[in-house]
Amino acid sequence: MKEILIYGPIGSSVTARDVVRQFQEARGEDVLLRIHSEGGSVLEGEAILNAIRQHDATVFGQIDGMAFSMAAIIALEVRDNLTMPEDGWIMLHDVRAGGAGGTEQDLERALVQVKAMNASIATKVSNALGISEEDAAAKLKDEIWMNGQEALAAGLVSAITPAEALAAQYWSDEWQNVPIQFLRSTRNPVPNEADAESTPSKPEMKLFKLFQNDKVEPSLELAEIGPEDLGAELAEAQKNLDEANASNIAALVARDETHALALTNALDEQRAEIEAKHAEAIAEKDAAIEAAENSSEKQANEILAQAGHSPVETVEPEEKTVKEQYLDLKPGEERQKFRNEHREELKDAFGSGVLR
């Protein structure tokens, strides 16, 4: 038998997509639908109801702790095969529209939708309790609360299972008519129901723990805890969270340092490679210039050889002295101009009074 869990808010923790997929995977196989939910989206719940109705084998139901609101409607769908512990709870109420807003027409459309949903739920409750739809609608406005024994007496469940001691972890302010059996006072315990209204202390929901054991499934054991126990557990949870955060931060720092070192090494390798390529390019350029110069001299000698002349070696002409440049000029105007431009140099070369 395949188990499908309706644990948590319907539409967020529990989605119709996931539940329908699990029913598809269980084709031809009996299913145990385990419920512990505060309810949620009506439309998501309707999709889950359709999956239950279309399943081709028997669907059994088991309320593990609470079936509130839309979760209770889902539970009623399998009431012929539904069990719950005597300290479990079923709660049904009117639809609550969340996030309604917009124009007047938007609000009117939302109101029409809510009324249609309320009518549909009233019909389901009427069939389950064997009462008229008007009576069902009136009861839904006030909220319907039933523990295991009350649900069995009303015909909503087929059998009672041993107490699981898993109750809703919600403040009483969430609902309007929470039964006194579901509550306890942390400051002034109420000795009996008759004293409940006269007791000024604020009631709070019972808190229970989910114990882990060596079984595949965690066991649900009674562990009613007070503020001091809860404080110790929260402190331990915070300690574990801090240690996990510290470990994660250390791992991130180590990863970042490793990444930075690898990046530095890669940059050094790229720099060395670029410098080597640059030096190689300069060497190739120098070699090309030298080859070009040698090639010019070689080509000139090849031309001389073809003409029957001896090869020559090209050399840079030696620079002539001022005196030699002067003597190479023709006497007259050229020498006079040269003397005017290089008078001091020629005076040093020839001596004072020699040049005229």
Residue 182 pLDDT > 50: yes
Lowest-pLDDT range of 90-104, 130-144, 179-193, 328-342: 179-193
Q: What average pLDDT does the structure give for the chain?
A: 77
Pairing between β-strand 210-211 and β-strand 219-220 as defined by DSSP bridges: antiparallel
Percentage above 70 pLDDT, the chain? 73
Asked whether the predicted pLDDT for residue 352 surpasses 80, the reply is no
Do 46 and 158 sit in the same domain of this protein? yes
Distance (Å) of CA 313 to CA 173, 208, 316: 112, 108, 10
What is the C-alpha to C-alpha distance for residues 295 and 301, in angstroms, rounded to an integer?
Answer: 10
Q: How many domains is the chain built from?
A: 3
188 and 321 assigned to the same domain: no
Question: At residue 314, what is the residue type?
Answer: T
Domain stops at, among 195, 217, 242: 242
pLDDT for the residue numbered 330: 83
Average pLDDT over residues 335-354: 80
Whether 90 and 175 have beta carbons less than 8 Å apart is answered as no
HEC letters along the chain: CEEEEEECCECCCECHHHHHHHHHHCCCCCEEEEEEECCECHHHHHHHHHHHHHCCCCEEEEEEEEEECHHHHHHHHCHHHEEEECCCEEEECCCCCCCCCCCHHHHHHHHHHHHHHHHHHHHHHHHHHCCCHHHHHHHHHHCEEEEHHHHHHCCCCCEEECCCCCCCCCCHHHCCCCCHHHEEECCCCCCCHHHCCCCCCCEEECCCCEECCCCCCCEECCCCCCHHHHHHHHHHHHHHHHHHHHHHHHHHHHHHHHHHHHHHHHHHHHHHHHHHHHHHHHHHHHHHHHHHHHHHHHHHHHHHHHCCCCCCCCCCCCCCCHHHHHHHCCCCHHHHHHHHHCHHHHHHHHCCCCCC
For residues 36 and 178, membership in a common domain is answered with: yes
Residue 42: pLDDT above 50?
Answer: yes
For residue 119, what are the contacts with CB-CB under 8 A and spacing of at least 6? 133, 137
Residues 232 and 247 in one domain: no
Residue 217 confidence (pLDDT): 47
Structure tokens at 110: 């939302």
Res 62: pLDDT: 94
Quick one: average pLDDT of 17-28? 95
- Is 212 found in the same domain as 80? yes
Average pLDDT over residues 187-203: 45
pLDDT value for 198: 47
What is the mean predicted confidence (pLDDT) over 142-171? Answer: 79
In this structure, the answer to whether residues 215 and 249 fall within a common structural domain is no
Residues 102, 128, single domain; the answer is yes
Query: What's the CATH number where 44 sits?
Result: 3.90.226.10
Structure tokens at 152: 């069995």
The pLDDT value given to residue 188? 42
Q: Write down the pLDDT at residue 212.
A: 42
Range of the domain at 339: 317-356
Whether residues 189 and 271 fall in one domain = no
Residue 341 shares a structural domain with residue 249? no
Q: pLDDT, tens digit, for every residue of 282-325?
A: 888 888 777 776 776 677 777 777 877 777 665 555 678 888 88
Choose the weakest-confidence range: 111-125, 170-184, 228-242. 170-184
Phi, psi at 66, each rounded to 5°: -140, 150
Range in 69-78, 149-158, 186-195, 278-287 the model is least confident about: 186-195
More confident residue, 180 or 35: 35
% residues pLDDT > 90 (the chain):
28
Mean pLDDT of 134-160: 91
206 and 121 within one domain: yes
> At 167, is the pLDDT very low, low, confident or very high (cuts 50, 70, 90)?
very low
pLDDT tens per residue, range 58-95 = 999 999 989 999 999 999 999 999 999 988 999 999 88
Query: Of 210, 242, 274, which closes a domain?
Result: 242
Residue 192 has pLDDT above 80, yes or no: no
Distance CA 10, CA 4 (A): 13
Distance CA 4, CA 89 (A): 19
Same domain, 188 and 248: no
Question: Is residue 27 domain-shared with residue 133, that is, in the same domain?
Answer: yes
pTM of the shown model:
0.50
Final residue before a domain boundary, out of 242, 270, 299: 242
